[in-house]
Structure 1
Amino acid sequence: MKAWRVHRNGEPSEVMRLDDIPAPEPGPGEVLLRVRAAGVNFPDALLCRGQYQIRPPLPFTPGVEMCGEIAALGAGVEGLAEGQRVISTAALPAGAFAEHAVVPAAGVLPAPEALDDTSAAVLHIGYQTGWFGLHRRAALRPGETLLVHAAAGGVGSAAVQLGKAAGAFVIGVVGGPQKAAAARELGADLVVDRHAEDFVAAVKDATAGRGADVVYDPVGGDTYTRSAKCVAFEGRIVVVGFAGGTVQAPALNHALVKNYSILGLHWGLYAARDPQAVRTAHAELTALAAAGTVRPLVAARPLAEAASAVQSVADGTTVGRLALIP
């Protein structure tokens, strides 16, 4: 089968190579998926660079989430059937940027019927991250103000839609007119182009000086530091990632004086420590998809363009999500 593999660490466009390798077979408790679409995520770029918290042995196949069709069941697998359309995270080092992938059966979830393959492929990580960040960690309430950074990006676009579904007033921060248009399409109530406006001032103007009740930050660095200047009394800053490349050192005395909370979110821990919570969130997301409230902003590219697709995500030039089609 065809599979993209990384033989050395570096920039995705330089180190990803399309190889012919034997098709895998499922072991006990595993399923073999025929990949119908694979989501492209920022962690794929970090994996290529050797900068992700997980460092699979070389060579490995990137691609951390997918929509697939069950092609074969390993021994002991129950409750699933060949031909069933499902979504799953990947089992590295054998990721989703391939024609087939083997994954643990316990992590497989039914693909929402309301979503096509490309939309289903990008639902899992981004929207689960948003759901846990906004509901489990920040306890977002109707009527509150939600500030979303990188609102036209992968996890940010999901947070915009989920914030609106929760009844929040959503302020999206983006970089450039094209991304501003995308954030408006996603449903943001107010869009701030950070290239032309000061988001701190915009948030204070929009909230009569009160600030944002919840800040959803996948960027980090100076973005986090400035967000602390416009977080509300008893506000919550959810630290989702560091796409800006800098891990900030929060001023804890500032959090004390202003009375706000700093919340970390590592969604992958829920799959390991509370898998039922993941399934509960999937049921909520499936219902939102059926209602048309959740609709990923996604573009499809052929699997042959995987290296350039991952590089474009790494460079921050994409709008919404990308999915690869074998």
Structure 2
Amino acid sequence: MKAIVCKEYGLPTNLILEDLKSPEPKENEVLITVKACGVNFPDTLIIQGLYQFKPELPFTPGSDVAGVVKAVGSQVKHLKIGDEVFGFVMQGGYAEEVAVPANVCFKKPPKMDFPIAASFMIAYGTSYHALKDRGKLKEGETLLVLGASGGVGLAAVELGKLMGAKVIAAASSDEKLKLCKEYGADEVINYTGEDLRSRIKELTNGKGADVVYDPVGGDYSEFALRGTAWEGRYLVIGFAAGSIPKIPLNLTLLKGCSIVGVFWGNFAMKTPKKNMENTVQLMQWLGEGKLKPHIHKIYPLEEAPNALEEMMNRKVRGKVVIRCS
């Protein structure tokens, strides 16, 4: 099979397309022929050795996969050869075949095409887990989403609105914010041209945001935390800005607020039953037309480095997908 291989940590241009031996599924895994793999911002960090975990070199990046079951492990009962599925892997998605843990592999609805399926699991799984399980978002509360036009950010905008919140979307350009409005944002902030803290205060009548969803980190995090309401919940999703902020902890005391970490991958692996419940709800909303992943662009497998470059250069709105076979 063909696969994108990272042999040394570095930029996307270092990645190589190679022929590799097909993986053998373990007893609790399924082997799928990968039709599409979503590109996620952590992929750009993993290949540089900048993420929370560092895969042993060499490795194939990619986590958000959709395809057709080719082989089934001996302990897998809910899937069979020929099933169209989507799922999550820690690595290995940028390839023609990958072994996927059965507890995070789900049948794909017939009307869902493979690129959409490969855009769904991480973005919507992360955002729903963040807002529902970690942020305890309630109907009528105000949700502020940073990096709101990206994959997880746009999913958070869409889900926040669906869950009954007032949604404020913050992003770096008017073009990106236009897409956020199309996905349900009530108010928008262009944080490259507006003062984030004062705009939050203005748009919430001085109260602040009840829940802040932050996949960006960097310089904007402290301003957003200062714009959090009394007993607000600040959700730490990731650090797309490239730097991990140092937060003055006295702010949590003054606001009685919480800083809450969100790691959907570990949640999915450690509590598969709860993750299954969330996935069932997301699939129901998708089937009802209430969720609609936005595909920015689809690349062939050999152009995966270009997809990662576009992600790193902040040009992506919604999701970028790699077509693998």
Q: TM-score range by the shorter chain?
A: over 0.9
Determine the C-alpha separation between the residues in 2 that align with 1:133 and 1:146. Answer: 12
Alignment match, 1:67: 66
Please give the residue correspondences for 1:128-167 in structure 2 after superposition, counting only pairs within 5 Å: 128-167=125-164
CA contact (8 A) 1:15 1:48 kept: no
- Per-residue CA deviations over 1:257-302 (Å, capped at 9, x if unaligned) read 1221111111122123211111011001001101211111113222
Determine the C-alpha separation between the residues in 1 that align with 2:45 and 2:112. Answer: 28
Determine the C-alpha separation between the residues in 1 that align with 2:249 and 2:125. Answer: 28
Determine the C-alpha separation between the residues in 2 that align with 1:238 and 1:30. Answer: 32
Match of 2:213 among 206, 209, 216: 216
Alignment match, 1:325: 323
| TM-score, scaled relative to structure 2 | 0.95
Tell me if 1:172 matches 2:152: no
Alignment match, 1:124: 121
Determine the C-alpha separation between the residues in 2 that align with 1:176 and 1:118. Answer: 26
- Letter in structure 2 aligned against 1:301: Y
Tell me if 1:4 matches 2:21: no
CA contact (8 A) 2:86 2:105 kept: yes
Cα distance 1:236–1:303, how it changes in 2: closer, same or farther (>3 A)?
same
Determine the C-alpha separation between the residues in 1 that align with 2:163 and 2:90. Answer: 32
Give secondary structure in 2 for the equivalent of 1:285: helix
CA contact (8 A) 1:115 1:289 kept: no
CA contact (8 A) 1:4 1:61 kept: yes
CA contact (8 A) 1:73 1:82 kept: yes
CA contact (8 A) 2:157 2:184 kept: yes
Deviation at 1:236, TM superposition (A): 1.0
Deviation at 1:20, TM superposition (A): 1.5
CA contact (8 A) 2:62 2:90 kept: no
Q: Could you list the runs of 5+ residues in structure 1 that have no partner in the other structure?
A: none
Give secondary structure in 2 for the equivalent of 1:228: helix
Match of 1:236 among 227, 233, 238: 233
- Letter in structure 2 aligned against 1:244: A
Cα distance 1:113–1:256, how it changes in 2: closer, same or farther (>3 A)?
farther
Cα distance 1:280–1:55, how it changes in 2: closer, same or farther (>3 A)?
same
Alignment match, 1:110: 107
Cα distance 1:129–1:264, how it changes in 2: closer, same or farther (>3 A)?
same
Tell me if 1:296 matches 2:297: no
Deviation at 1:114, TM superposition (A): 4.7
Tell me if 1:38 matches 2:37: yes
Determine the C-alpha separation between the residues in 1 that align with 2:90 and 2:255. Answer: 42
After superposition, the CA RMSD in angstroms is: 1.4
Determine the C-alpha separation between the residues in 2 that align with 1:18 and 1:81. Answer: 30
- Letter in structure 1 aligned against 2:4: W
| TM-score, scaled relative to structure 1 | 0.95
Tell me if 1:185 matches 2:189: no
Alignment match, 1:227: 224
- Letter in structure 1 aligned against 2:67: G
Which of 133-142 and 239-248 deviates more?
239-248
Deviation at 1:8, TM superposition (A): 0.8
- Letter in structure 1 aligned against 2:282: L
Give secondary structure in 2 for the equivalent of 1:45: helix
Please give the residue correspondences for 1:196-207 in structure 2 after superposition, counting only pairs within 5 Å: 196-207=193-204
Deviation at 1:317, TM superposition (A): 1.7
Match of 2:242 among 241, 245, 260: 245
Deviation at 1:184, TM superposition (A): 1.4
Determine the C-alpha separation between the residues in 1 that align with 2:74 and 2:90. Answer: 18
Determine the C-alpha separation between the residues in 2 that align with 1:58 and 1:319. Answer: 30
Determine the C-alpha separation between the residues in 2 that align with 1:62 and 1:286. Answer: 26
CA contact (8 A) 1:39 1:324 kept: yes
- Per-residue CA deviations over 1:137-194 (Å, capped at 9, x if unaligned) read 1111111110000000111011001101101110000111221121112211112111
Determine the C-alpha separation between the residues in 2 that align with 1:194 and 1:249. Answer: 19
CA contact (8 A) 1:112 1:289 kept: no
Determine the C-alpha separation between the residues in 2 that align with 1:31 and 1:89. Answer: 12
Identity of aligned residues (%): 40
CA contact (8 A) 1:152 1:320 kept: yes
- Letter in structure 2 aligned against 1:311: E
Please give the residue correspondences for 1:267-282 in structure 2 after superposition, counting only pairs within 5 Å: 267-282=264-279
CA contact (8 A) 1:114 1:289 kept: no
Deviation at 1:29, TM superposition (A): 2.2
Cα distance 1:232–1:117, how it changes in 2: closer, same or farther (>3 A)?
same
CA contact (8 A) 1:151 1:174 kept: yes
Tell me if 1:55 matches 2:54: yes
Give secondary structure in 1 for the equivalent of 2:58: coil
- Per-residue CA deviations over 1:20-46 (Å, capped at 9, x if unaligned) read 122223232221101111000111111
Give secondary structure in 2 for the equivalent of 1:205: helix
Give secondary structure in 2 for the equivalent of 1:192: strand
